[in-house]
Amino acid sequence: MARKPLDYEELNENVKKTQYAVRGELYLRASELQKEGKKIIFTNVGNPHALGQKPLTFPRQVVALCQAPFLLDDPNVGLMFPADAIARAKHYLSLAPGGLGAYSDSRGIPGIRKEVADFIQRRDGYPSDPELIYLTDGASKGVMQMLNTIIRNERDGILVPVPQYPLYSAAIALFGGSLVPYYLEEEANWGLDFVNIRQTVSEARSKGITVLFDMGPPLSREVQLVSFHTVSKGFWGECGQRGGYFEMTNLPPKTVDEIYKVASIALSPNVPGQIFMGVMVNPPKPGDISYLKFSSESKSILESLRRRARMMTDGFNSCRNVVCNFTEGAMYSFPQIRLPPRAIEAAKRAGKAADVFYCLKLLEATGISTVPGSGFGQKEGVFHLRTTILPAEEDFPAIISSFKNFNDSFMAQYEGYSRM
């Protein structure tokens, strides 16, 4: 039978090669188990609101008013919204002619890009140009846009710190480039080892790959840099709104124009997400009506995240053959699991990577859905899993004890102390 254009065999090979571990085998199995009625604790995606984090009130008030501008003419509006949220909604509606239903400039609303530039300038102490700031549907879309713009073929290498966020490996594969990994040092709290980077670069060059772009932190007035931000991560956790930006530093104007052109094909980022970004870079200030509520909500989320990071790290470190660095600025833990040789052999017999094998058993036994470390990259023979620290605080003792019981049994089984 003749093949049809959308048959699997006819698809773009780069698409088939692409892997995206965060929503990969473990996630699919967890979704199946959930359908069968098993209680699943989804810690595979940094998705705080899905696990019960409440949204900050002020930005939601502002965006709700922008979404329903007729409320601003309702005599009762003051009963339900504070005056500063009303004023701020009017401000954004004045920046966005046509309101939330109109496409904005493909780079985002100029007035909000100005607010972002002011924020960067306050934060870093260097001037920032709104013309070099583009708003995006979340940071992921911005990263993909940028990688699509620079990757030409498999001889273009992209230096990526490992463990990496699988977005990078997936987008690089999708656009046909080569990922050039450099390993962060677990023993140095995931610090950077320059010798390792030099070695990686020279190995890649010897294979004919030109090293292009460093997603890591080097920064100067010479280096070409694109930096990303988002309303999804940080403590806002407004993932579903899809708001983000990138700022371009030291890029030639012709390159900026090309990036503008790519952005314009999809017309504009979603406008409500742009307003979230505006409020994020310009939150209520001391003296504003909503300031106290906004800062107490923020503080409570941040303190809870820190307590959860502590509980998660301590929990992992109390488990046999598990070691874990403290979670500093992110919402993830990445414990190393020292798998006994027999577990590695059993995984091989089952046709699975050893960390996938461990994580699948963990899922089946406890309902805890994690991501195997191989999706993020790890040194040969070293195994990890990634989990978020986002479950509700009151659920932590049960989750950690359930993990501990599973891990004890697993280690006992494969270290041969018992046969369970």
Binders of a second copy among residues 134 to 153 (CB under 8 A) are 137-138, 140-141, 144, 148-152
Q: Counting contacts by CB under 8 A, is residue 47 touching a second copy? A: yes
Q: Does 20 bind a second copy (CB under 8 A)?
A: yes
Site string for a second copy, 102-131 (x = CB under 8 A): xxx-x-------------------------
Considering the rule CB under 8 A, would residue 308 count as an interface residue with a second copy? no
CB nearer a second copy, residue 210 or residue 318: 210
- Among the residue ranges 5-13, 321-329, 338-346, 354-362, the one whose residues contact a second copy (CB under 8 A): 5-13
The reply to whether 289 sits near a second copy by the rule CB under 8 A is no
- For a second copy, which residue of 38, 83, 87, 98 counts as binding (CB under 8 A)? 98
Q: Which is nearer to a second copy, 35 or 349 (CB)?
A: 35
- HEC readout, the chain: CCCCCCCHHHCCHHHHHCCCHHHCHHHHHHHHHHHCCCCCEECCCCCHHHHCCCCCHHHHHHHHHHHCHHHHHCCCHHHHCCHHHHHHHHHHHHHCCCHHHCCCCCCCCHHHHHHHHHHHHHHHCCCCCHHHEEEECHHHHHHHHHHHHHCCCCCEEEEEEECCCHHHHHHHHHCCCEEEEEECEHHHCCECCHHHHHHHHHHHHHCCCEEEEECCCCCCCCCCEEEEEECCCCCCCCHHHCCEEEEEECCCHHHHHHHHHHHHHCCCCCHHHHHHHHHHHCCCCCCCCCHHHHHHHHHHHHHHHHHHHHHHHHHHHCCCCEECCCCCCCCEECCEECCCHHHHHHHHHCCCCHHHHHHHHHHHHHCEECEEHHHCCCCCCCCEEEEECCCCHHHHHHHHHHHHHHHHHHHHHHHCCCCC
| Span of 99-107, 180-188, 394-402, 404-412 interacting with a second copy by CB under 8 A | 99-107
Residues 170 to 189: which contact a second copy by CB under 8 A?
A: 170-171, 174-175
Under rule CB under 8 A, residue 167 binds a second copy: yes
The count of chain residues that interact with a second copy, using the rule CB under 8 A, is 92
Q: Is 299 an interacting residue with respect to a second copy (CB under 8 A)?
A: no
In the complex, what is the shortest distance from the CB of residue 412 to a second copy, in angstroms, rounded to a whole number?
36
> Taking CB under 8 A as the rule, does residue 224 contact a second copy?
yes
By CB under 8 A, tell whether 65 contacts a second copy. Answer: yes
**CB of 379: closest distance to a second copy in angstroms?**
25
- Name which position in 128, 268, 369, 387 contacts a second copy (CB under 8 A): 268
